Structure 1
Amino acid sequence: MTETGESVEARDQGRGDAPRGPLWWTRRRSAVLDVGLALVSGAECAAQGVPFAREAGIPVGLSVALGALAGLSLVLRRRWPIAVVLVAIAVTPAQMGAVLGTVGLYTLAASDVPRRIIALLAGMQGLGSLIVATVELQRNVGRDDYGYDPPVWFVPLVSVLMSVGVTAPPVLLGLYVGARRRLVESLRERADGLERELSLLADRAEERAEWARNEERTRIAREMHDVVAHRVSLMVVHAAALQAVARKDPEKASRNAVLIGDMGRQALTELRTMLGVLRSHEVKPPGAAQTSAQASGEASAGAVDAGRPLARVAEVAEVAAGRDSAGSEDPADGSEESGGPCLRELGALVGQSRAAGMSVELSVEGEVRSYAWRVEQTAYRVVQEALTNVHKHAAGARTRVRLARRAGEVAVLVENEAPAEGVRGAGLPSGGNGLVGMRERVAALGGGFVSGPTEAGGFRVSAVIPDRG
């Protein structure tokens, strides 16, 4: 019972919501236990005080009162265990305090008192018990009532056994209980520490997940802007040209109509492909895959360059599936094998702008070499978005596109002149995210991006992208 009570008490000390008992007790149950033990010890010492008073020749009432007071000191065992053991040692010569000494030694050994103090007090208690046992045995064993003459070693041996028997068990049990309690407390502290660490890790994981979600939303929005906005801008420009030449040059109007249709199909195909990637985690009903494939085939039948509908769709799919695209194994050149645009397609991109009536000059410097797919994709997107901005804000302005292939980096420059006076823009809406998206793309690869107006009234976009793939 004592062991269980102290273990529960030690456990409750670490709980802030545990009910506290009176005075120094942490639980009312502990207080009731100590009071009960003190009453038993007080009754025992009071009863043992009667024969002691007769042998010592002192008043019985005084002996009984002192014995009861000494026994009742056991109620302080959790507060002052050393004082309780000292009281037990003091009343040992009077053959009092069996319960007081046993429980006192147990409590002392189970407490956090230094071991040397425990050993000293336990030795004093054992020595007192040895002396009392030796005196009593020598007084009683030699009496003629027993008719037995023991050998010389009998009294010392029995005295030592009795002393060890009343001293060692409570001390050993108290040491075991104390060590066990300290071990449990240590394990509990470690468990609390691990719980706090897990809580912090969970919070950090949630923060990283939220950051990843925000990054993915931004990246998807940027990808849709780069993929769709350029083609829609060209469609608007061609539609305006179609309106202008519809009656004067039907053949040219027909060509513009074909271009508008092709660009619309490309934009629709790319948008449908991106939405399919975003919904790839959903369970499709039977027959949906076949219907989707047929629709995709019909949409891409007349599309120009429909084999690469979305820039780096595989990257978006990997992130949607919970994988990091930076750790995936992609082709070294990353161009056509990865499904995204590459630098070799800049000529086709410039040709689309020329077909829309823009005067674009393309110059390429350096030897033809392969770069990582992210580098080529980013350079392509920078040129694409810069040309889109020219369509929006400087329709008809002469534009120069320069590509420099260097060892370890790619440099692109798109510069347009000031639009001619009286020439109106294409009337395309602008969300102000084009330059921001280009800067984010280049910065993500550790490159440099510069944009701004020129002295001649035009606009310049320049990017240097290192090849670290």
Structure 2
Amino acid sequence: MTGTGEEQGRAGPPLWWARRRDAVGDAALGAVSAAECAWEGIRFSEEAGIPVAAGVLFGVVVGATLVLRRRWPIAVVLVGIAVAPAEMGFLLSVAGMYTLASSEVPRRIIAALASMSLVATFVVMYVKTRGDVEADPTLVLALSVFVAVALTVPPMLLGLYIGARRRLMESLQERADSLERELSLLADRAEERAEWARTEERTRIAREMHDVVAHRVSLMVVHAAALEAVAVKDPARAAKNAALVGDMGRQALTELREMLGVLRAAPKPVAAVAAVAANGSVEAVVRVVPAAVAAGAEDGPSLAELEALVGQSRAAGMAVEVVVHGDGAGAGGGYAAEVEQTAYRVVQEALTNCHKHAPGARVVVRLAHREGEVAMQVENGPSEGPVAGVGLPSGGNGLVGMRERVLGLGGVFVSGPTDAGGFRVSAVLPVR
């Protein structure tokens, strides 16, 4: 059975120490009860006409049953009711009723045993009082009721209160433990979200660095190769290529400085992500990450700069055709900033790959503004005639970066060789 000590359910000494303390207390209480019943057993032996030793032994056995009150409270109460006619076991009855009321025994059993104890005490008291004194029967009845209620109801009410208080403390402790586990889980999730946000930000910066550096430097290499080829035969063209290389280099340096300046300035979205990581708020991380991505796209290129991008590739000697379908808002910069930048970067990286892997090939850039989406496609044919490559290295991150950008906005990305021997890159982006 469940113990009845007030200390159960609250933070305190170790469990083994609490159990040992309860056992010592029950043993002391049982010894006192045994001594009381043994003393009352002397009078009982005289009234019952049995040897005194038998009466004392009987009292000791009855009183000692109180040590079992925590394990078998029902049995202890029944013993107290059974010995009520012998007028012994006052402490046994009171402590047993208290223990029973504070235990986990069903309330209907507690009520039944309390009623039995009340009736037994009343009957014994009434019989004893009526036979010992000459008094008004009404007074005897009232006195018997008072004694029966005084010996039964207060211990029962106190036990009910202590039991309810213990159960409340246990419930509060369980809720506190559950809340602590939930907070720990939320903190772990917040850390995971923050780490995910930092990874996403690093990936985004890596994509931007790759797109800016790879495209500009690829064009510089192409112009440098052309400059080397015509330096002696066509000085005018060599000077033009040299000027283009210088322009490309300055543009690349400008874009790199802007990006490094953004990183050094710790923009608000990135700072917000760091603050969220420190505070451990899952909901805030979920709100901040999309804002960081959107803010990072606000200062990026747009579809309005697509013609300039294609013009750079044409200046490098590539034959590029641009086909635009529809009159979408994107041509004037009306799409969301992240859609504009992603579409631009897809075309830019595809043109860079054409410079690397298909020098001299004819390239077609298609842009379609549709209802609720914008589609782009860059397709190159096979190289027309023997064209010497310029030795541009490939890191293998171009297609991966394009796919990550498109899928991050909920779009569709497809790439692969064509039947004619070329290569095609296609992407569709939702504009809402």
TM superposition score normalised by structure 1: 0.82
Equivalent position of 1:351 in the other structure: 311
Amino acid across the alignment from 2:224: A
Equivalent position of 2:255 in the other structure: 270
SS in 2 for 1:6: coil
SS in 1 for 2:419: coil
CA distance in 2, matches of 1:121, 1:256: 107
User: Residues 217-236 of structure 1: matches in 2 within 5 Å?
Assistant: 217-236=202-221
Amino acid across the alignment from 2:16: R
Amino acid across the alignment from 1:20: W
Equivalent position of 1:35 in the other structure: 27
SS in 2 for 1:279: helix
Distance 1:71 1:5, change over 3 A: same
Equivalent position of 1:165 in the other structure: 150
CA contact (8 A) 1:277 1:316 kept: no
Offset of residue 241 of structure 1 = 2.0
Offset of residue 315 of structure 1 = 7.4
Offset of residue 399 of structure 1 = 1.4
Equivalent position of 1:70 in the other structure: 62
Equivalent position of 2:7 in the other structure: 8
Of 16, 20, 45, which aligns to 1:20?
16
Distance 1:445 1:74, change over 3 A: same
User: Residues 371-386 of structure 1: matches in 2 within 5 Å?
Assistant: 371-386=335-350
Equivalent position of 1:285 in the other structure: none
Offset of residue 90 of structure 1 = 1.4
Equivalent position of 1:310 in the other structure: none
1:423 equivalenced with 2:423 (yes/no): no
Superposed CA deviations along residues 396-440 of structure 1, whole A, max 9, x for unmatched, are: 222121222223222222111212443222211111111111122
SS in 2 for 1:431: coil
Equivalent position of 2:281 in the other structure: none
Equivalent position of 1:403 in the other structure: 367
CA distance in 2, matches of 1:184, 1:278: 53
Unaligned 5+ segments in structure 1 are 143-149, 282-312
Identity of aligned residues (%): 64
Moved more, 428-437 or 314-323: 314-323
CA contact (8 A) 1:343 1:380 kept: yes
CA distance in 2, matches of 1:320, 1:363: 43
CA distance in 2, matches of 1:320, 1:379: 29
CA distance in 1, matches of 2:263, 2:6: 57
Of 62, 81, 93, which aligns to 2:85?
93
Superposed CA deviations along residues 276-324 of structure 1, whole A, max 9, x for unmatched, are: 323334xxxxxxxxxxxxxxxxxxxxxxxxxxxxxxx997787677663
Distance 1:316 1:245, change over 3 A: farther
CA contact (8 A) 2:4 2:99 kept: no
Q: How many residue pairs were aligned?
A: 416
Offset of residue 5 of structure 1 = 7.0
Offset of residue 65 of structure 1 = 0.1
Offset of residue 11 of structure 1 = 4.8
CA distance in 1, matches of 2:275, 2:111: 66
User: Residues 53-452 of structure 1: matches in 2 within 5 Å?
Assistant: 53-142=45-134, 150-281=135-266, 324=288, 326=290, 338-367=298-327, 369=329, 370-452=334-416
SS in 2 for 1:231: helix
Offset of residue 139 of structure 1 = 3.2
Amino acid across the alignment from 2:49: G
Distance 1:230 1:213, change over 3 A: same
CA contact (8 A) 1:277 1:317 kept: no
Offset of residue 247 of structure 1 = 3.4
CA contact (8 A) 2:9 2:173 kept: no
SS in 2 for 1:153: helix
Offset of residue 73 of structure 1 = 0.4
CA contact (8 A) 2:418 2:424 kept: yes
CA distance in 2, matches of 1:116, 1:404: 79
Backbone CA RMSD of aligned residues:
2.7
Moved more, 236-245 or 38-47: 236-245
Structure number with the higher helix fraction is 2
Distance 1:119 1:330, change over 3 A: closer
Amino acid across the alignment from 1:395: P
CA contact (8 A) 1:42 1:72 kept: yes
CA contact (8 A) 1:449 1:462 kept: yes
Amino acid across the alignment from 1:260: V
Equivalent position of 1:466 in the other structure: 430
SS in 1 for 2:327: coil
Moved more, 102-111 or 394-403: 394-403
CA contact (8 A) 1:277 1:320 kept: no
CA distance in 2, matches of 1:5, 1:430: 77
Distance 1:318 1:227, change over 3 A: farther
Superposed CA deviations along residues 216-245 of structure 1, whole A, max 9, x for unmatched, are: 222221121112210111111122222223
CA distance in 2, matches of 1:326, 1:11: 46
CA distance in 1, matches of 2:268, 2:361: 36
CA distance in 1, matches of 2:83, 2:376: 100
CA distance in 2, matches of 1:357, 1:79: 96
Amino acid across the alignment from 2:241: N
